[in-house]
């Protein structure tokens, strides 16, 4: 029998609150239209394809205000291309967080890294100070290194540069800037390089630049020495066995479960018992691999890169550390469970990527990984013999 107890009737919606929500939504739409017009207006001052001179560019500003490790490393091919085309130029870069300063400031042509806090709204005084310092500087060339970034486009508009380079705000609108999209690679590390090559006054026909941290010989020696100390703690392996690093962490949906990694490492150890595995720990400092593999932990990004670069091969899910390993020069296999492999896969040399399931380790993927490891170790052995 239904409950006939008297219940208070639902009060009608508060008219004042509903009116406030409508006004708030209207303000957001208005501000969005104003921002969109402002961003589109920057297009009128952009360098057209083929109009960037091969000479007379001495002061360069690269704009990539993002704090993520991977996005910072992915800008290094553009820096490499600029260093090649304009070897006498000084380069400034706009970054965010600490990664840009730690990884890029030691490059020979790097003059200054403007490091904004990754939460600019909470640090307005320091952000305004940096912005004023950036605007005081004059540049021959400023590049928005990431299409689709509103903050990057706004900073490009505020920069004081003779030539400003970026993709069109609306890539679907026909116009002279739309030529920048012709044959543009999908990979996020190469789009800005393509942009620069299309703008450059001379034809450029050479391989794409690699991710490269430009580690010094001293850093490479220190990394090799540190890695030897780490793998010397592994018992039951030959002292000259190849070293393979594994990074078992990633953010969000890109992260593989620990059970997947446990199955992968167990099969790897059985089929390639001579391999010495180094468990590269994530920022939380906890191992996500089974067994007693040698762990390595560091929050110093260039130091970590030096150790990774001394390894014979490296395996990781799609994440910033994967890009760091590629830029350090170690053959790297990236594991992808999402549909973004074309944008972020390791490229060049024997670097490779695999699309896999992450709910279970299938044998086809494992055998492909084993074949890649054999190829990578053969490549590394040849390179070491050459050196």
Summarize pLDDT for 172-189 with one digit per residue, the tens.
778 889 999 999 999 999
Confidence of residue 16 (pLDDT cuts 50, 70, 90): low
Cα separation, 105 vs 107, whole angstroms: 6
What mean pLDDT do residues 101-106 have? 95
Tens digits of per-residue pLDDT, 122-155?
777 888 888 899 999 999 999 999 988 888 899 9
For residue 384, name the pLDDT band (cuts at 50, 70, 90). Answer: low
List residues bridging with 163 in a β-sheet. Answer: 141
CA distance 384 to 387: 5
Q: Tell me which DSSP letter residue 29 carries.
A: H
pLDDT-derived band at 385 (thresholds 50, 70, 90) equals: very low
Instruction: Determine the Cα–Cα distance for residues 14 and 162; give it in Å rounded to an integer.
Output: 55
Instruction: Evaluate whether 42-199 and 217-386 have a shared fold.
Output: yes
pTM passes above 0.85: yes
Cβ atoms of 252 and 317 within 8 Å: the answer is no
Nearest to 69 by CA among 321, 332, 340, 338: 321
Confirm if 207 and 77 have CB atoms less than 8 A apart. Answer: no
Residues 238-272 pLDDT 10s: 677 899 999 999 988 899 999 999 999 999 999 99
DSSP 8-state class, residue 204: -
CB 311 within 8 A of CB 376: no
Domain ranges in the chain are 42-199, 217-386
Using pLDDT thresholds of 50, 70 and 90, give the confidence band for residue 387.
very low
pLDDT above 70 for 196:
yes
Please state which of the four CATH numbers 3.40.50.2000, 3.20.20.150, 3.90.850.10, 3.40.640.10 is assigned to the domain occupying 42-199: 3.40.50.2000
Q: Take residue 287 and report the two structure tokens written for it.
A: 């191992």
Burial status of residue 337 (CB atoms within 10 A of its CB: 0-12, 13-18, 19 or more): buried
Average pLDDT over residues 231-235: 82
**Cα–Cα distance, 42 to 338 (Å, whole number):** 34
Superfamily of domain 217-386: Glycogen Phosphorylase B; (3.40.50.2000)
Q: How confident is the model at residue 2 (pLDDT cuts 50, 70, 90)?
A: very low
Distance, CA of 76 to CA of 201 (rounded, Å)? 22
Residue 69's closest CA among 245, 284, 305, 340? 305
Residue of higher predicted confidence among 33 and 325: 325
């Amino acid at each position: 029998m239904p409950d006939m107890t008297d219940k208070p009737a639902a009060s009608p919606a508060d008219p004042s609150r509903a009116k406030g929500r409508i006004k708030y939504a209207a303000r957001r739409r208005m501000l969005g239209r104003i921002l969109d017009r402002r961003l589109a207006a920057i297009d009128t001052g952009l360098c057209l394809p083929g109009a960037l001179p091969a000479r007379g560019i001495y002061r360069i500003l690269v704009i990539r205000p993002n704090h993520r490790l991977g996005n910072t490393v992915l800008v290094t091919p553009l820096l490499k291309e600029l260093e090649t085309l304009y070897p006498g130029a000084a380069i400034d870069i706009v970054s965010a967080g600490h990664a840009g300063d730690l990884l890029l400031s030691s490059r020979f042509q790097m003059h200054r890294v403007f490091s904004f806090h990754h939460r600019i709204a909470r640090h307005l005084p320091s952000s305004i100070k940096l912005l004023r310092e950036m605007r005081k500087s004059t540049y021959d060339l400023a590049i928005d290194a990431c299409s689709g970034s509103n903050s990057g486009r706004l900073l490009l508009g505020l920069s004081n540069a003779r030539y400003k380079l970026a993709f069109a705000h609306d890539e679907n609108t026909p116009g002279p800037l739309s030529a920048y999209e012709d044959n543009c690679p999908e990979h996020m590390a190469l789009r800005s390089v393509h942009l620069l090559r299309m703008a450059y006054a001379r034809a450029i026909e050479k391989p794409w630049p690699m991710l490269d941290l430009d580690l010094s010989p001293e850093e490479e020696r220190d990394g090799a020495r540190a890695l030897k100390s780490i793998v010397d703690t592994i018992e039951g392996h030959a002292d000259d066995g190849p070293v393979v690093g594994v990074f078992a962490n990633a953010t969000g949906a890109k992260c593989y479960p620990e059970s997947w990694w446990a199955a992968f490492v167990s099969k790897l150890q059985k089929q390639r018992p001579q391999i010495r595995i180094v468990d590269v720990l994530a920022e939380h400092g906890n191992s996500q691999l089974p067994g007693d593999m040698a762990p390595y932990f560091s929050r110093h990004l260039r130091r970590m890169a030096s150790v990774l670069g001394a390894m014979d091969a490296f395996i990781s899910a799609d994440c910033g550390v994967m890009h760091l390993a590629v830029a350090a020069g170690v053959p790297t296999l990236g594991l992808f469970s999402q549909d973004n492999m074309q944008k972020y896969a390791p490229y060049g040399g024997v670097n490779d990527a695999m699309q896999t399931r992450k709910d279970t380790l299938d044998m086809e993927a494992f055998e492909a990984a084993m074949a890649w490891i054999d190829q990578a170790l053969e490549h590394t052995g040849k390179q070491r013999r050459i050196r």
